[in-house]
Structure 1
Amino acid sequence: MRRLELPGRGEDMPRLEDRDIALIRKIGIPAVKEMIRDIVYLPLI
């Protein structure tokens, strides 16, 4: 599996920022998984 290189995130920086964690807590893990599925699979259709 290849790694995505995200801007502003390196080896010394956390993968998730506080606002990312807050969003995950707000909408829940199942909703995040569905968003990820849509982002990944829709371009393949």
Structure 2
Amino acid sequence: HVHHAVEMAQTEEAEDGVVLAEYQCGYNFKGRLLRPAMVKVAVRS
């Protein structure tokens, strides 16, 4: 999956880099990335 991390949240429940929320979906067309997904990812504290 291709994404752009727009927010990082400290958490104890998830591993580093796990996507917690998707704010905007991404698009591929004929094997080319048109827009990456915008997501919130976990950071272990």
Q: Which has the larger radius of gyration?
A: 1
Task: Using structure 1 for the length normalisation, give the TM-score.
Answer: 0.19
Task: Using structure 2 for the length normalisation, give the TM-score.
Answer: 0.19
Q: More strand per residue: 1 or 2?
A: 2
Q: More helix per residue: 1 or 2?
A: 1
